[in-house]
Structure 1
Amino acid sequence: MYFKMWRLFFTFLAIPLVLGSQTWNEGLKKAPRYSMNIDLPEEERWESVLQHWNASEFREMATAVFDKMVNKETLQLLEIIGGALDYYLPSPYAGEIRGIAKHFQMDVGEIVLYNLIYDITLSGGCTSIVAQDSKGNIWHARNMDYGFTATLRNWTVVVDFQSHGKTLYTSTSFVGQVGFYTGQRPNAFTVSLNERDEGTMLEDIIQILKALISDKTVFTSFQIRDALSRNDTATFDSALQRLAYHPETAPNYYIVGGAKSAEGAVITRDRLTAVDVWRLDLSNGRWFVLETNYDHWEPPPKSDDRRDPGNKAMNAIGQDAIDLDAMLKVLSLPLVCNSGTVYTTLMSAAHPSSYATFIRHCG
């Protein structure tokens, strides 16, 4: 208890030191970035990314992760699903998963499992912020915190999804996953996913089975990719509607930023629909929204309070001075950036060239 109190005290003491530091970004390593041609056949399109990873090393690391996640019976079930992949998963996910499994010489069921990590485990943590500066620019930044941290740092990659040489959308993902946790559609919107721990493992399994047999429910990370790639979700408002109200397999928080003034929101979701949409409200002084892993109307637990240090740091910076550099400083504070932080992504739909992801080693 005393250790936690001193750690929290140090965090608040560190806020002015970190925010005023001129060396806050020293040693930050950018995640590797590649382009992928979505005009290629689904089974071939990830090859431009996968070729940069050693297949045998990937298999070894993936097996270690799977052994900690599920039992052999679950893997056997997933292999049955893998054998009828086109029946269970829509395009482009089935073809892309099959191509990834072929490249790494792994069972298709194993790659299906890897793509369902969030829906099965619900073990992530995160901090996401959307802010509007005094000129009306919208900025979005996030820390991805997750288990298997060391492994996922090695697998973190930025991918520009291109057609005829033009980037349609960008994601920060993990090698071998076809869904996203973080992404941007240029001049339209940005989105990040934070974990919300609600419900039981039985409910998780039921929703996963529903998703496999119905085209009305989707896996959580596929939801983000669908929103980024679909022409009917090419605006902030249309993307917000889909992310808030389309049924999916796991509860979560979607943090969404737009390209225009006041376009920013935190969507608090149950599996089937949103329970709350918390938006920027400049008329009432809400120029930023910050979400960790707890409903914003409830106090965070003292054992995991990243919200209060983050809010204090944002207010210390102020709306006039906020930008992506300043938000990176906030996401570098102790507790906010911690031993489970895999990466930090900075993005802005109206300034798509600013998209960047950094591998983190904090705490």
Structure 2
Amino acid sequence: MWRLSFIFLAIPLVLGSPTWNEGLTKAPRYSMNIDLPEEERWESVLQHWNVSEYREMARAVFDSFVNKETMQLLEIIAGSLDYYLPSPYAGEIRGIAKFFQMDVGEMVLYNLFYDITLSGGCTSIVAQDSKGNIWHARNWDYYFPATLRNWTVVVDFQSHGKTLYTATSFIGQVGVFTGQRPNAFTVSLNERDEGTILDDMIQILKALISDKTVFTSFQIRDALSRNDTATFDSALQRLAYHPETAPNYYIIGGVKSTEGAVITRARLTAVDVWRLDLSSGRWFVLETNYDHWKSPPKWDYRRSHGNKAMNAIGQDAIDLEAMLKVLSLPLVCNPMTVYTTLMSAAHPSSYATFFRHCD
């Protein structure tokens, strides 16, 4: 299993730049009609990518971390995809594999990379301003940042011409790591490093034979798409307590005062839910990749720099522009940062994802 290690240097905290949107490029945005058959619905998005170039880049990524045991497992899954993966994921993965002329097992691997590798960085923040608005912003950090920037898209999942939810995703991925259900909640995923590669494989096998356990990115999309999780509280309950294959942090924001939380997940349930609490002065929660009640490694300054910047801005002045500046600070934004997403469920039109190049 890979473990992500950042090499951090002490750099002074500077909040002056960049100004709002300056020098930033938005990720392309497309709509997908979920009323179409599962195998066809991603074609409107995929058609913007060169098939041979995508296939070559994808296989270079796969070859760098796949092992014999993983491929054997994926071959089993691919052989009975509809049996092992729930709708709509099996059909969508099959359709994407067909479009890019790749083996179904390869696309399964790509879609389960979080559960298999448990590798990633990320910084997520949910804050409430003095007027009661809830703002949510996140950096996604991962290996292969240049490749993943080429694959990053914003997708509006639509039915009958109406956007049901929006997600920032990577081409070929059917699950979600960053998303928003308008007027309901926003959510981002941060990696929590726990367990061994044997634990991963055991939990994946359990997920395959049990309809009570789901893969991590599917869990988020399920929460975004289900009518019974169309509120902050109901989404929090599902994300906190529905069994899944990998430990993680879910950072979730709502539309009402104090609707913001960091859910610290073990594989089967939450071990902690850390919520906004204005009575104790907690008007924001900031999560990187460590349990909030523990100190991060001395070489990782993301939490300390982020917290210091948020407190310097203050609750009266906080908004998405200010949070972008926090997520642009040296170390918080780093060479592995792929994108920054800004969102607010109560202001759904504010959803935007920007490519980052923080060397």
TM-score, L = length of structure 1: 0.95
Count how many residue pairs are aligned between Structure 1 and Structure 2.
353
Equivalent residue number for residue 244 of structure 1? 240
Alignment of 1:48-59 (within 5 A): 48-59=44-55
SS at match of 2:251: strand
Distance in 2 (alpha carbons) for counterparts of 1:350 and 1:296: 26
Which of 120, 123, 126 is matched with 1:127 structurally? 123
User: After superposition, what is the alpha-carbon deviation per residue over 1:33-68, rounded to whole angstroms, capped at 9, x for unaligned?
Assistant: 000000000000000100000010011001101111
Q: Once the 2 structures are TM-superposed, how far is the Cα of residue 27 of structure 1 from its aligned partner?
A: 1.4
SS at match of 1:271: coil
Root mean square deviation, CA, Å: 1.2
Alignment of 1:228-243 (within 5 A): 228-243=224-239
Q: Once the 2 structures are TM-superposed, how far is the Cα of residue 73 of structure 1 from its aligned partner?
A: 5.1
Equivalent residue number for residue 314 of structure 2? 318
Is 2:63 the partner of 1:67? yes
Distance in 2 (alpha carbons) for counterparts of 1:22 and 1:221: 31
Structure 2, unmatched stretches of 5+, are: 1-6
Alignment of 1:55-134 (within 5 A): 55-72=51-68, 74-134=70-130
Equivalent residue number for residue 27 of structure 1? 23
Distance in 2 (alpha carbons) for counterparts of 1:174 and 1:336: 22
Distance in 2 (alpha carbons) for counterparts of 1:292 and 1:73: 30
Alignment of 1:1-363 (within 5 A): 7-8=9-10, 10=11, 13-15=12-14, 19-21=15-17, 23=19, 25-72=21-68, 74-363=70-359
Once the two structures are aligned, what percentage of the paired residues are identical? 87
SS at match of 1:41: coil
Distance in 1 (alpha carbons) for counterparts of 2:68 and 2:92: 24
Q: Once the 2 structures are TM-superposed, how far is the Cα of residue 80 of structure 1 from its aligned partner?
A: 2.8
User: After superposition, what is the alpha-carbon deviation per residue over 1:289-339, rounded to whole angstroms, capped at 9, x for unaligned?
Assistant: 000000000111112220000000000000000000000000000000000
Distance in 2 (alpha carbons) for counterparts of 1:114 and 1:90: 17
Distance in 1 (alpha carbons) for counterparts of 2:191 and 2:322: 24
Q: Which has the higher helix share?
A: 1
SS at match of 2:49: coil
Distance in 1 (alpha carbons) for counterparts of 2:230 and 2:335: 36
SS at match of 1:65: helix
Q: Once the 2 structures are TM-superposed, how far is the Cα of residue 83 of structure 1 from its aligned partner?
A: 1.8
Q: Once the 2 structures are TM-superposed, how far is the Cα of residue 26 of structure 1 from its aligned partner?
A: 2.0
Q: Once the 2 structures are TM-superposed, how far is the Cα of residue 22 of structure 1 from its aligned partner?
A: 6.2
Structure 1, unmatched stretches of 5+, are: none
User: After superposition, what is the alpha-carbon deviation per residue over 1:87-139, rounded to whole angstroms, capped at 9, x for unaligned?
Assistant: 00000000000000000000000000000110011110000000000000000
Distance in 2 (alpha carbons) for counterparts of 1:141 and 1:265: 13
SS at match of 2:149: helix
